[in-house]
Chains A and B, each alone.
Chain A
Amino acid sequence: MKVKRNIYFFISFVILIASLMFSASVGAVRIPLKDIIEIIFGSGSETNRMILIQLRFPRIIETAVVGMGLSVTGTFFQGLLRNPMADPYVLGISSGAAFGASIAIVLGVGLFGLQFMAFASALVTIYVVYMLSKKGPNVSMQTMLLAGIAISAFMSSIISLMMLLNHNEMSQIVFWTMGGFNLITWSQVFYTMPIIIIGCIALYTFSRDLNVIMTGEEIAEHLGIDTERVKKIILIVGSLITASSVSAGGIIGFVGLIVPHISRLIIGSDNRALVPFSGILGASFLVLADTLARIAMAPVEIPVGIITAAFGGPFFLYLLIKNKNREVK
């Protein structure tokens, strides 16, 4: 059992490295691996160096980091909410971020302002959802789910209203929500990578707690776990990771939903293995999806959210059918 796991981990690492290398060499501008190595060691064409180092490397790194962050957070939220349909956005983060981004676009504040407002707005939203769901010192995850849905619906209608009143900015807002990494440079990496990586490591340390909580919150309490504290930590850290991811790449759907499921099918439900495995698989998945987004219609950029939705939509249907059959059984 242990040996099989290790093999799967090894394979997943290989896939990740291969994805990164593949992604580095293709794009609207093709730079073969040979040239990449030349550039790393100092020589090579100046234009290609600029493209590789200023644009492509940060983009690949950011994509991998966001893929990892969303997958790890998705794994934790699915466990915490005890709901296999959950993803990092289910508590209102996506509509909160879209709201902040819409305001930024309408005000015309530029890229950094846009990313900051998306980030801040996402966090404020989840705080509101949390406060609405609190009963004394406790918070019910099911209530949070409902509150998240309600707040999301409310914010979506405000965003629609904003789009209606700001006709010129409408398409920009729509495209932002579809998600894309085409503007990533080192500054985004600088701001988001530490938060996401540290966040993922922090969450990982609660894998065992999550295992127990998944079998029942009451049980977890009786086994000595401070479930309220653990829930809060998972929510806060997960939200920070998601808000960072969204500020850099917009709302990229399905990564946080599908990757934990596929990972679970391969490596099992034990979060101590599932969490890192999801992270690695998620990084590869998003790197490859973004590569496709860059090359499918080059030099035109497709929003990467469309690519992930193309894979995610059918998968979601499959999940629904699978669950339906289980109930019938």
Chain B
Amino acid sequence: MKKWIKNIVVFIIIAVLSLSLVSCSQKTQEKTSTNANSVKTEVKATFPLKITDFMGRQVTIKKEPKRIVSLSPSTTELIYAIGAGKNVVGVTNYDGYPPEVKSVAKVGGYEGPNIEAILAQKPDIVFASNLSGKDQMETLQKSGIPVVVLEAQNINQIYESIKILGEITGNVEKGNEIINTMKDKIKEINDKVKNLPKVNVFYVVDTNGNWTAGKGTFIDELITLAGGNNIASDANGWAQYSMEKLLQKNPDVIITSQHATNANNIKNMPGYKDTKAAKDGKIFIISNDDIVTKPSNRIVLGLEEIAKDLHPEAFK
């Protein structure tokens, strides 16, 4: 009978080891985001241009690109915003803004670019994201097409993206203009609310599983700028949040997305219904998910909406 005691000890050890592997992978995820903070651009108004992208890659762009493929919908938005939209020849199936992209050729899904479709467009530059597939990007790079990875995870990094895009597409002034407009608007909103008492907020990404936006997400940053306190900031990234903790922290306001399951009925759902937010009727649905999740210049609209939800008196 002693045999089974030994056996159980063996798999408890193995189990502990495998669980620690899970926590290890969490740490490597955080590592890549800190690299992005050291993005540098060498300011050269002329080509060839050497830039370091968000993955720390050194990319040389020989001449101003005339045929741009964008594998990231948020980058596409920024390209159009700085005035280089006419040069866009390929986008993904998931691009939807601005409306002009409807007529642009589709070269793949968000995580799965179609190399043949990309090459068919004869691009002279490809803008990718972290999810674009390392091997495929290497293939493109090897065939002589520069691949630039932009992956902004906070507002400052959006500014960096705009700067890089401005330089690459020869729209430096327009880029700066957009950055300044954003900064001004954000300051304007923040000034209105920064001295008001902070409102406790919980963002419901989906009710099935109580998904929320924790620390490091745009939503988290926006809530803070909007004069709120994201009660889920003790979680990192997108996470399933403990219902118990939610009740204990008892948010004043709940914000959710139209795509959340039963978004209109959160006030009656078990768990949520016992929060102050539900009882006070302060549950808001964001008009458009894009403006709070996509790293583009429209993020300012998201900030404005959230700030109005949290501090309506300041915007009358």
Contacts and interface: CB of A to CB of B under 8 A. Distances in A.
Interface of A: 27-29, 47-48, 50-51, 54-56, 105, 108-111, 114, 167-168, 172, 175-176, 180, 182-183, 185, 187, 262, 265-266, 294, 296, 298-301, 303, 306-307, 310-311, 313-315, 318
A167 B94 contact: yes
B45 interface: no
A47 B243 contact: no
Nearest to A186: B270
12 contacts: A29-B248, A51-B248, A55-B243, A55-B247, A56-B244, A168-B259, A176-B209, A185-B271, A300-B214, A300-B236, A311-B11, A314-B11
B125 to A, nearest CB: 26
Nearest to B15: A311
Nearest to B238: A171
Interface string B235-265: 1100111111101101000000001011001
Contacts of B244: 27-29, 51, 55-56, 294, 299
Contacts, number: 123
Contacts of B209: 172, 175-176, 180, 182-183, 301
Interface string B209-248: 1100010000000000000000010111001111111011
Given A55-B243, A176-B208, A301-B240, A318 B110 contact: no
Given A111-B208, A183-B208, A183-B210, A54 B274 contact: yes
**Residue among A51, A114, A176, A307 with most chain B CB within 10 A:** A51
Contacts of B94: 167
A98 to B, nearest CB: 14
B242 A300 contact: yes
A314 B15 contact: yes
Given A56-B244, A180-B240, A111 B207 contact: yes
A300 B208 contact: no
B15 A265 contact: no
Nearest to A45: B248
Interface string B182-194: 0000000000000
B238 to A, nearest CB: 8
Interface residues of B, number: 44
A50 B247 contact: yes
Contacts of A47: 247-248, 250
Contact of A318 (B11, B236, B242): B11
Given A110-B265, A111-B261, 13 more contacts: A51-B244, A108-B261, A167-B109, A175-B209, A182-B240, A185-B271, A262-B8, A265-B7, A300-B214, A300-B239, A310-B15, A310-B19, A310-B22
Contact of B208 (A29, A105, A311): A105
Interface in B251-305: 259, 261-262, 265, 269-271, 274
Q: Which of A109, A298, A299 has the most CB of B within 10 A?
A: A299
Nearest to A51: B244
A156 to B, nearest CB: 19
B11 A54 contact: no
Contact of A182 (B14, B210, B236): B210
A299 B11 contact: no
A318 B239 CA distance: 33
A168 B293 CA distance: 13
A54 B270 contact: yes
A9 B66 CA distance: 77
Of residues B4, B234, B242, B250, which shows the largest number of chain A Cβ atoms within 10 Å of its Cβ? Answer: B242
5 closest Cβ contacts across the A-B interface?
A28-B242, A314-B14, A299-B245, A28-B245, A301-B240
A313 B22 CA distance: 14
Contacts of A183: 208-210, 243, 270-271
A167 B274 CA distance: 32
B242 A299 contact: yes
Interface in B194-212: 206-210
